[in-house]
Amino acid sequence: EVQLVESGGGLVQPGRSLRLSCVASGFIFDDYALHWVRQAPGKGLEWVSGITWNSGNIYYADSVRGRFTISRDNAKNSLYLQMNGLRTEDTALYYCARGRNNDFWTGQDYWGQGILVTVSS
């Protein structure tokens, strides 16, 4: 069974940093691209960042470029999102999601349950 479990969220003050983690199981981790997608309370979905299977290509939404860094450790079946310079508008439920295959340009077929990040003073 494919599982994606996020951790590392919480309440943080504006300007501070937070690191999200996502541990995967039930599939061959380094066969797939991975993504972070967020959802502000009561709002729609916003793609945040994605990374290819070998970390060779990385992409970001304009809203987070220069502040967030995505990375993965295939040996640990783990995906990360380092978030620096957090803003109140970054408050959201952050989902870890798997691409459908090793091609980056696919939809996301498995999602974690999400981890809440609240940015507030």
What CA–CA distance (Å, rounded) separates 56 from 17? 25
Q: Is 111 in the site for other proteins (CB under 8 A)?
A: yes
| Cα 54-115-47 angle, rounded to 5 deg | 55
Q: How far is the CB of 99 from other proteins (least distance, A)?
A: 9
Concatenate the DSSP letters of all residues of 70-91 into one string: EEEEGGGTEEEEEE-S--GGG-
Contact code string over 59-88 relative to other proteins, x by CB under 8 A: xxxx--------------------------
Q: Is 106 in the site for other proteins (CB under 8 A)?
A: yes
Q: Which residues here bind other proteins, judged by CB under 8 A? A: 35, 37, 44-47, 50, 59-62, 95, 100, 105-109, 111-114
